[in-house]
Amino acid sequence: MPETDEFSFLPAQADAAGVDIPAVARVSLTLPDGRTLSGLRWGEAPPVVTFLHGAGLNAHTWDTTLLHLGEPALALDLAGHGDSSWREDAAYVGRVLAPDVAASIEAWTDRPQVVVGQSLGGLTAAALAASRPDLVSQVVIADITPGIDPSGGPAQLRAFFAGPTDWASRDELVEKALSFGLGGAREAAERGVFLNTRVREDGRVEWKHHFAHLAAAAAATGADLGTPDAVRAVLASTGWDDIEATRAPILFVRGERGFVTADDADELTRRAHDVDVRVLPTGHNNVQEEDPATLAALVRETIPRD
């Protein structure tokens, strides 16, 4: 693949969206425990929106949405993803990840944020709003409710990540993804693989996100790749506590073909303090990829105006 850096795909994406490319830069923050939190800063003005991706993704999943949005924003790599440090305890749950997000908002913004989260990022957004209401003006949650495993997915996706964690080239990995029916068209698969992998010093290509390595290790020992029922129950309990404690308005965006059912959405509506539900004709991991223009328009409606 000819791309030379992480921003090489933006011109084609901007052209397809009919917009100019704003200033985009990678930013990095050293956290109190020595870990690194990384992200992308869009625009030159102080950010008004902060985006949190789902499990196994990274900040670039929001690129097309942000091009359509046209507002100054942050898109973060959650711990264990992208260019952010992995956690030694592998505790990738909303309440553990939220303090990292709080630190980034305090460091890189000058006002409470509209916090947009998809899947794992949505649970993290709720945990942040519950624990640090001073940092959040609005929450946008895409296709996740407490009790649903944010690292779950179709069997073929689990099998894909449970395989090898390194390859001779990115082209080899693209071919594997396409053979599993993942990644969409070749161009989209090449973009996703490039942005979610790195080349090691030995020349081998490996996944950036920790989940693939954890899945492969579990598969090697014959362990169940699903989240244990007891752990899922705890996550559901704490997640609903966060939803109920959130006083910022919640915009809930449900993918019609996603993991969240109409009953799940009704449960969220019952428990949340202030929620508006919208349904888009998309899948779980593709709300921001399948319909970025509509998602951007919904997010734009939530931004406070002076």
Per-position DSSP letters for 115-131, written without gaps between them? EEEETHHHHHHHHHHHH
Q: What is the share, in percent, of the chain residues with pLDDT greater than 90?
A: 66
Q: Radius of gyration over alpha carbons of the chain, in Å?
A: 18
What is the residue-averaged pLDDT of the chain? 88
Confidence at residue 1, expressed as pLDDT on a 0 to 100 scale = 44
Average pLDDT over residues 213-235: 58
Q: What local confidence, expressed as pLDDT, does residue 152 receive? A: 54
State residue 242's pLDDT score: 96
pLDDT of the residue at 223: 54
Q: Spell out the domains of the chain, with CATH numbers in brackets.
A: 10-150+227-302 (3.40.50.1820), 155-220 (no CATH)
Which residues make Cβ contacts (< 8 Å) with residue 276, sequence separation at least 6? 249, 250, 251, 252
Separation between Cα atoms, residue 250 and residue 273, nearest integer Å: 8
Q: So what's the pLDDT on residue 153? A: 54
Where do the H-state alpha helices sit in 221-281?
Answer: 229-245, 262-271
Digit-coded pLDDT (tens) for 13-64: 999 999 999 999 999 999 999 999 999 999 999 999 999 999 889 999 999 9
How much is the pLDDT for 13?
Answer: 95
Residues 6+ apart with CB under 8 A from 105: 50, 74, 113, 135
- pLDDT reported for residue 258: 80
